[in-house]
Structure 1
Amino acid sequence: MKNILLRSLAVFGVMTSVHSQTINVNFSHYGGKQYVYVLERGSKKDTIATGKLDPAGKAVLVIPQAKKGYAGISHFVLTDGGGMDFIVNKENFSISCLEEQPNFENTKYTGSPENEFLNQKIQQQKAILDKAGFVQYGLNLYKKEEPLHAAFQQENENLQGQFTALRNETAKSTLYAARFIEIYRFLMGIGSIFNQPEEEKAKELNLFIKEKLDMQALYNSGFWNQTIEGWVNLQQSVIKEDTALLADTKQILSRIKSNEIYTAFTEKIVAVFTKEGKDEMVTAISQYTAKSGRLEKPAKQLTNAINAPVIGGSAPALQTAAGKKIINKKTLLFFYESGCNNCENEIHQLLGNYEIVKNKGYEIISVAADMTKDAGDGHDHAFPWKEQLCDYKGFAGPNFQTYAIIGTPTFFTIDEKGKITGKYARLIDTKIINN
């Protein structure tokens, strides 16, 4: 936890505003050091101040009026290295440490129930879990019929009671620190019961994310990316159902009040689904959120996903060296990248089944994401079909952008009217070669 909340030291800078929140700091060992002060905002960070501690290591940090109401984690970092993370939440408070290496024990907060609660509860939790680990070792070491086993069992029940009480106290608290601790527990995979079966714990953690997690608190926690990525990994490793993942994603979106956070979550989840090759999930979520009317200035990747051609719609024209090519005949459109293992497998399949595809009336058009002319060296790319497109712009090329290609290989089947009839990751899934 110290790696997350506490770096080697903390320093603050001076900003002046008579109506804003102030934080007084005193770190006597670091007088004259330069610092940067940052607030968390999803995948981004807002730099609030830069400056220098006075010779005595003191400074006054003023949260600007524009950030009034911010509740979340802030970072104070020395430009020479080191820093400290702590909570900011409408409090005028002071922090002091007279030691060279600030930590939970030697850093004093005055007037900050938030940071006092965080430090106290994290230490209590660590103490309980450390003891529980030792007790579990004892339970494994002694047989049930041995006297010490009963003693260890009694202590285990006692510690479980303490842990449950601590969780309940945290759940009832309205402090931001309490929400941060809940996020931390999720990331650490800490369930409600010691030695909880993994599947049971996974379902409990998933329930927390989709029904209870405060998304505003997560947005300002510094754990935005890790939590969303961790949740998707949890779904894939334990629950393993895309239908459940889609439904749970929509449930999370329905609980988000801020349009800014709604947009940020959509962008992040689309990026994660893209990385995992979940094209259908990308399409489903991008279309779902586009219809909500809540997206605010979505990033390019999300915009491309929203504007992606859909099955049943007209196939967009392709950009070729000779100009635009309108697709108005049966076509198998193949997007690939040389050297990509899956792409090379599909190229091999396509070459081996070329006559079958051609005899079924399909024109093949291949579009490469290669950045150089020699990207295909060492591979059999002597294609027998006429249309082989490559503008050496990779995924940023107009054809990849127009078709919203987020991963390769990708096949589109298009009918004689120019309508898209399917989108696939494998040639065999098109049913062209096995019908």
Structure 2
Amino acid sequence: MKKILLFVLAILFTTADAQEIQMYFPHFKGKTYNFVIFRGSDAKVVIKDTIPQDGKFTLKIPKEYAPYTGMSRWLITGTQEGGGLDMLIPGHDFSVKCTSAKPDNDNIIYTDNVEIPELNLFYKKQSEIFARHDAMLQATKAFTSKDKNYSVYEQEYRNQLKAYERLQDELKKKNDYASKFLPIVNLTQGIGTKIYQSEEEKARNAADYITNELDWEVLYTSGHWSGVITSWVDIHTLVLNNPKKFAADFSEINKKITDPDKYTDLVKRIAFAVNKSGEDRFLAEIAPIVAGSGKVTSYDGLLAAYVSGTQGNIAPDLTLSPDGKMILKSSNFSGKEYRKTLLIFYKSDCGSCIELLRELSVKYEQLKSAGVRIISFSADEDETVFKNKTKDFLWKDFYTDLKGLKGINFKNYGVVGTPTLFLIDRSGKIELRTATLREIEDQLK
């Protein structure tokens, strides 16, 4: 079981104007530093300054973010050795003092702080449980059931599973920021609320916790917002592989986040993670929920994938000429000669695209015989690169406007990464959005 790194915690006292942390680090005088707080995907640098010669300085939470409850990071900059502290800020002023040249949990003194020992105790309990669990697990694997001590190993193994469940109960009863933060850190380490051996059981447990128990307000200021959301998407796309379940879980999460800014950040991170996985069918399942939420005001960039080029909708028309005058309507993609259209967005130097185009050349005649027309759009911004790549294409419909991912067709289809493929029927409706030719072939069967 992976060990969890200890985080330094601190308590701030709320003032009328701002929250303050009084710092005293005399051995770091003259060094520059950044002070960072977390809000969803953003790590906001709210202070850049230099430690004075007496080592005393104040970290202030700006008024627009106060009162702030969440994680922060004080980082020494401009030196090779670096250094700094991660600090939990639950809304109170506090002070930190360290007269040592090598700060650690034993020589840093916190005033008006009660959560450090609490969280450290939880970390210690968890580490001890994991150590005993791993030892007993190895023992049950190393010895057969005939060994005289096997029953002892097996019983102790079960004891540690129960001990971990009791620890989770303690965290739920405590119900403060620190107790909610620990499970978030655990998620980033691949650890859920129960100890399982199979990857699928681990995935289901983590997905269930994220959907039903995770405190999204705590996650938003934890510094792990993007990581946990990406993990949730990966669990669904790589392990559970059930788009309907993904949509059902998202529907529950959708109810919990009412703030438009936080919700927009959430669905943007989901779109990024799904696009990276190449499993666009998952995004198609939640697109109606996102579009119907009323919480997203502008669908641009990554967010365009929820309203443009989604499975089940009519495909946008294609702009074929750089001047925008030559338009091919989606209802005419297939024409009279074909029954479906395979629309491909690629970039010549994209590794996955190179493999896709090679595979497409091999299977071109097979697709043509199946009545599939191929139209490709390149994100190339260099005309020479575009021409060198397309000279070997077996299909005749290939285009670029040399504007990269900012091109009109990429925007209209909500394409933010390559390769992205669309299978479109004769009426112009999108049957499938994906990143692989294999899924296109499966759809054609």
TM (norm. structure 1) is 0.83
Deviations 1:33-74 (A, max 9, x none): 211101011111112212222323222222222222321110
Q: CA deviation at 1:342?
A: 1.7
Asked whether the 8 Å contact 2:361–2:394 carries over to 1, the reply is no
**Which of 47, 68, 71 is 1:70 aligned to?**
68
**Which of 4, 7, 19 is 1:5 aligned to?**
7
SS at match of 2:85: strand
> What CA distance in whole angstroms lies between the structure 2 residues aligned with 1:293 and 1:434?
35
Find the counterpart in structure 2 of residue 374 from structure 1: 385
Ranges in structure 1 where 5+ consecutive residues have no aligned partner: 11-16
> What CA distance in whole angstroms lies between the structure 2 residues aligned with 1:100 and 1:287?
56
Q: CA deviation at 1:379?
A: 7.5
Deviations 1:342-399 (A, max 9, x none): 2332244335654x47xx6x875432233332356477625463x4322222332212
Q: CA deviation at 1:192?
A: 4.4
> What CA distance in whole angstroms lies between the structure 1 residues aligned with 2:183 and 2:29?
36
SS at match of 1:288: helix
> What CA distance in whole angstroms lies between the structure 1 residues aligned with 2:315 and 2:163?
62
CA 1:212 to 1:193, structure 2 compared with 1: closer, same or farther past 3 Å? closer
Find the counterpart in structure 1 of residue 12 from structure 2: none
Ranges in structure 2 where 5+ consecutive residues have no aligned partner: 10-14, 335-340
Q: CA RMSD in A?
A: 3.5
Find the counterpart in structure 1 of residue 37 from structure 2: 39
Q: Does residue 398 of structure 1 match 2:412?
A: no
CA 1:370 to 1:179, structure 2 compared with 1: closer, same or farther past 3 Å? same
> What CA distance in whole angstroms lies between the structure 2 residues aligned with 1:428 and 1:136?
40
CA 1:434 to 1:87, structure 2 compared with 1: closer, same or farther past 3 Å? closer
SS at match of 1:5: coil
> What CA distance in whole angstroms lies between the structure 1 residues aligned with 2:429 and 2:269?
28
Moved more, 188-197 or 36-45: 188-197
CA 1:130 to 1:427, structure 2 compared with 1: closer, same or farther past 3 Å? closer
> What CA distance in whole angstroms lies between the structure 2 residues aligned with 1:262 and 1:69?
21
Give 1:204's aligned amino acid.
N
Find the counterpart in structure 1 of residue 54 from structure 2: 56
> What CA distance in whole angstroms lies between the structure 1 residues aligned with 2:228 and 2:408?
33
**Which of 356, 361, 378 is 1:342 aligned to?**
356
CA 1:345 to 1:104, structure 2 compared with 1: closer, same or farther past 3 Å? same
| Identical-residue share of aligned pairs (%) | 24
> What CA distance in whole angstroms lies between the structure 1 residues aligned with 2:359 and 2:142?
52
> What CA distance in whole angstroms lies between the structure 1 residues aligned with 2:194 and 2:283?
35
Give 1:97's aligned amino acid.
C
CA 1:50 to 1:279, structure 2 compared with 1: closer, same or farther past 3 Å? same
1:72-91 matches, within 5 Å, as: 72-79=70-77, 80=79, 81-91=82-92
Find the counterpart in structure 2 of residue 207 from structure 1: 208
Find the counterpart in structure 1 of residue 338 from structure 2: none
Deviations 1:399-433 (A, max 9, x none): 22222234435244364xx74364455779779x9
Q: CA deviation at 1:191?
A: 4.0
Deviations 1:298-348 (A, max 9, x none): 552203542337646364241414642333535236324345212332244
Q: CA deviation at 1:167?
A: 1.9
> What CA distance in whole angstroms lies between the structure 1 residues aligned with 2:421 and 2:36?
41
1:397-416 matches, within 5 Å, as: 397-406=407-416, 407-413=418-424, 415=426
Give 2:51's aligned amino acid.
L
1:35-184 matches, within 5 Å, as: 35-79=33-77, 80=79, 81-141=82-142, 148-149=149-150, 152=153, 155-156=156-157, 159-184=160-185
> What CA distance in whole angstroms lies between the structure 2 residues aligned with 1:414 and 1:341?
25
Q: CA deviation at 1:194?
A: 4.8
TM (norm. structure 2) is 0.81
CA 1:101 to 1:133, structure 2 compared with 1: closer, same or farther past 3 Å? farther
CA 1:145 to 1:215, structure 2 compared with 1: closer, same or farther past 3 Å? same
1:281-430 matches, within 5 Å, as: 281-297=282-298, 299-303=300-304, 305-308=306-309, 311=312, 313=314, 315-321=316-322, 323-327=324-328, 329-331=332-334, 332=341, 334-337=343-346, 338=348, 339-351=353-365, 354=368, 356=369, 365-372=375-382, 373-375=384-386, 377=388, 381-383=392-394, 385=396, 387-406=397-416, 407-413=418-424, 415=426, 419-420=428-429, 422-423=431-432, 425=434
